[in-house]
Amino acid sequence: MQITINETRLISELEALAAISELEPPAITRIVYSDADRRAREWFRGLCDEAGLSVRVDAIGNVFVRWEGSEPELAAIGTGSHIDAIPHAGAYDGTVGVLGGLEAIRALQESGMKLRRPIELLLFTAEEPTRFGIGCFGSRLLAGTLDSGAGERLNDPDGATLNELRAAAGYKGTVESVRLPKDHYAGFVELHIEQGPLLEREGIPIGIVTNIAAPSGLRITIEGEGGHAGALLMPYRKDAFCAAAEIVLAVERSAKSTGAIDTCGTVGKCSIHPGAVNSVPSRVQMEVDVRDTDEARRDGVLARIREACADVAARRGVKVEIEVVNADAPAESSRTIVDAISQSADELGLPWKKMVSRAYHDSLFMARIAPMAMIFIPCRDGVSHRPDEYAKPEDIANGARVLAHTLAKLAQA
């Protein structure tokens, strides 16, 4: 039976979604629970209604779009991704998996194919950590890896809690109600741009993810002593930012010390108090990201960072506090789903390669409650999280084709 992806429709919808932003395209910003987020969700809901699909929204805004199978009592096959975007991002991260997932379902509908299992498209709430400082909180709650106290514990930079913001956005119910039972999905497949250069460099249109790296996040606060930039003499300083600079370099050094290409350490956020050119910094808060495909190796890096912080604190006479924001385990893809993806690509005549995802995705947490795998497509120069992020229409369509065939195989099992 012929399964045909409408490439023109899919690309047009990606362009329409990109226009719903807090910034002028090509710079995309859609922060969860913002006005742009609300408008994008309403627009997406309209597409689902047009396709005759049922829609359910949970207490934090995760959206479930369902196409029933002939045996609706069976566990569903899931797919999906996110549409929230960090400030000054691009148009393809996450959105290819949401709109590509919708197009895959529509292609299966239009083919006349009858499937046993339901297929459910998930639009995850807040894959990006922009608002609450923790990524994937929607899928974390679905999988039960984040406790229900997160409703009050998670807050944005202005101090508003998750519970306050979701209520203001119109989402009702308890945080506890978000968690899915472990038998809800029989499998989950996420389509995504690679966010790296390998597929494009090697001229391969399809990547099949076998492992997702284990991410961890630290929030480090350094308390020193401030004062006038001229009056506080150098021998007597306890400069919080100088201490922070040593810690930043220690993060880099600790990550490089493993000798493994999969180990990464990044300090991507740093705030200095009081932030005046003529004032010695008295307090610095920074956020550290450490990730690896090997959990023990990553934890070794975290231990070395802690040692460095203790050393800097003792030498410089400052106080250093470390808060663990998250320390997640890596995920391994289901061999059954990997085989279904590779068979689908073979049937379509599309070369593929197995690969590791060093970026993490909602699939990392869906793996806690369902067999999981991911499909990657190339993106230009490996660029992501920037306005010049780009994926070719034919690569997007190929990804949706492989996804549609994979969903069909899994939903017949």
Co-location of 267 and 367 in the same domain:
no
* pLDDT tens digits along 260-300: 999 999 999 999 999 999 999 999 999 999 999 999 999 99
Q: Do 249 and 183 sit in the same domain of this protein?
A: no
pLDDT in tens, 202-220: 999 999 999 999 889 999 9
For residue 48, being part of any structural domain is answered with yes
Domain range spanning residue 14? 7-213+330-412
Identify whether residues 127 and 23 lie together within a single domain. yes
Same domain, 93 and 231: no
CB 219 within 8 A of CB 133: yes
Q: pLDDT band at 345, cuts 50/70/90?
A: very high
From 327, 360, 378, the end of a domain falls on 327
pLDDT of 385 over the 80 cut:
yes
Residue 37 shares a structural domain with residue 141: yes
Helix (H) or strand (E) holding 320: strand 319-327
H or E element in which residue 102 lies: helix 95-111
Take residue 407 and report the two structure tokens written for it: 């969903």
245 found inside a domain = yes
Torsion of CA 106, 111, 116, 119, to 10 degrees: -10
d(CA 97, CA 359): 15
Residue 355 to residue 202: CA distance in whole angstroms = 12
Q: What is d(CA 293, CA 331) in angstroms, rounded to the nearest whole number? A: 9
Identity of the residue numbered 254: S
Mean pLDDT computed over 243-254: 98
**pLDDT (mean) for 47-65:** 98
Q: Is the peptide bond before 378 cis (omega within 30 degrees of 0)?
A: no
The residue-averaged pLDDT of 20-25 equals 93
What pLDDT is attached to residue 117?
98
Q: 51 and 171: one domain?
A: yes
Q: pLDDT band at residue 413, thresholds of 50, 70 and 90?
A: confident
Q: Residue 1 pLDDT > 70, yes or no? A: no
Which pLDDT value is given to residue 133? 85
Q: Do 342 and 231 share a domain, yes or no?
A: no
At 122 the pLDDT is 98
Statement to judge: residues 314 and 344 lie in one domain? no
8 A C-beta contact, residue 243 and residue 310: no
The verdict on residue 119 lying in a domain is: yes
Mean pLDDT of the chain: 97
Long-range contacts of 295-301 (CB under 8 A, 24+ apart): 295/214, 295/329, 295/330, 297/258, 297/260, 297/263, 298/214, 298/216, 298/263, 299/216, 299/327, 300/258, 301/254, 301/255, 301/257, 301/258, 301/263, 301/265
Residue where a domain stops, chosen among 268, 295, 327? 327
Number of domains in the chain: 2
pLDDT > 80? residue 169: yes
| Residue among 380, 325, 28, 341 nearest 196 (CA) | 380
CATH code of the domain in which 322 resides: 3.30.70.360
Q: Do 190 and 238 fall within a single domain?
A: no
What residue ranges in 142-247 does DSSP mark as E strands?
Answer: 185-193, 206-212, 214-223, 227-228
**Boundary (domain end) residue, out of 327, 346, 361:** 327
Does the pLDDT of residue 79 top 70, yes or no?
yes
The answer to whether residues 157 and 295 belong to one domain is no
Instruction: Give dist(CA 118, CA 95) in Å, integer.
Output: 22
Closest CA to 17 of 50, 48, 39: 39
Residues 291 and 382 in one domain: no
Q: Are 133 and 225 found together in one domain?
A: no
CA–CA separation, 115 and 153 (whole Å) = 42
**CA proximity to 400, closest of 341, 357, 359, 355:** 341
Q: Is the pLDDT of residue 155 over 70?
A: yes
Cis peptide bond prior to 87, omega within 30° of 0: no
Q: What does the alpha-carbon distance between residue 147 and residue 162 come to, in Å, rounded to a whole number?
A: 13
pLDDT at 303: 98
2 within domain boundaries: no
pLDDT at residue 353 in the model: 98
